[in-house]
Structure 1
């Protein structure tokens, strides 16, 4: 898959591919303290895209999804790795998803809440990561429960406990990890949403850039690149999204 010079100029007008990396979702990326660098599926995809564009790669790393989205929307970065959402699509052009992950709820073991359907009730408070995909989704969908926001997604469960909130919402794998770390907590069965992880670029970059990025994602899925990255980074619970034409 070769990029025309016009495509390269549209995708990375500064001549360097600036990739926004969100450390707030451990499915996509983590900070490797030993090597002092970000690592993960999204980082691997960014490196491969830069290789194909024959471009220098610059990672712009953030601790929360909202900050990462703002960087790309505001053109401080050229591409990013985000959950697809209608509000974000106002400023971004998305590819089809490359990974599907689950959004779930966590409660205390002694909570009377036993099912997802019981969460949206008067008096129930739900802790979410500010600007996350599930924050945006629940803000639209909930009718009775109240949303409380932590600064970042990794801080959700700690803030849920510290503030005495009823429910924590987030990526299932992050919640499960926190439940194992803290004890006395349980995940509700099932999921309240499927989070579609895709790549995005500023709307101002145009259809040519977005089409190239979409083709890249489809090739990365079809070739096994995404599946291999999931295994390499020991990611559990995420599945490779079906092809765009499936």
Structure 2
């Protein structure tokens, strides 16, 4: 990649990548003393290599915080769910991974289907600033939304406040059912979350095109599929390739 584009993408001379641990499909930290790992880290390293730059991961615990860092130019790239409410802050590539947003309830809950969630009096817990927070804030007409600090704490908050439904990434909710007895997922998914790379909104078309080309190359090459397999991520799909 030419030096001019590399300088525009990473003006500090190092690729600052915001890594959100709030979505276990993309990144996680096995224990507090370990380095983060996951598909987004693998992509960030590969992109830094393409640019010929060192990588500086900036690890955060929520999507909202990751958006803030990139929007303010404190990080050069990030890994986000596509959402129109973020479009004035972030310029997005095409998606590289598709994951599902699902609902979780107690075993004893009378709720049996997704279309029963949006009813008066129901409280739905989401991760503040997450893609499904933005989506459900637009879509739910009668149920009340309650917000946990981060996506991984949604189920704990759901239990703490005795809410009716927890909403989140299917893989996180499935892990919570293994961690806490007496919970179940409702059948199906309320949304497909399209995960993409993003750059600050003031970056040029040429800069965005370079990042987008990288994303398409990583899908076509099988890099994303291999990363998902390497990190043991089940249930996520590589997004279809796009014509640039």
Q: Please, which moves more after superposition, 34-43 or 72-81? A: 34-43
Give 2:57's aligned residue.
59
Secondary structure of 1:205's counterpart equals coil
Alignment of structure 1 residues 1-246 onto 2, 5 Å: 3-33=1-31, 36-245=34-243
Secondary structure of 1:121's counterpart equals coil
Secondary structure of 2:80's counterpart equals strand
Deviation string, structure 1 residues 71-118 (Cα, Å, up to 9, x no partner): 001111000000000011111110110000000000011111111101
* Distance apart, 1:245 and its partner CA: 3.0
Secondary structure of 1:98's counterpart equals strand
Deviation string, structure 1 residues 118-149 (Cα, Å, up to 9, x no partner): 10110000000000000000001110000000
- Normalised TM-score (structure 1): 0.97
Secondary structure of 1:148's counterpart equals strand
Aligned equivalents of 1:187 and 1:114: distance in 2?
9
Aligned equivalents of 1:158 and 1:33: distance in 2?
19
Residue-pair matches, total: 244
Alpha-carbon RMSD? 1.1
Aligned equivalents of 2:165 and 2:120: distance in 1?
13
- Normalised TM-score (structure 2): 0.98
Runs of 4+ off more than 3 Å: 32-35
Aligned equivalents of 2:131 and 2:125: distance in 1?
13
Secondary structure of 1:39's counterpart equals coil
* Distance apart, 1:9 and its partner CA: 1.3
* Distance apart, 1:38 and its partner CA: 1.1
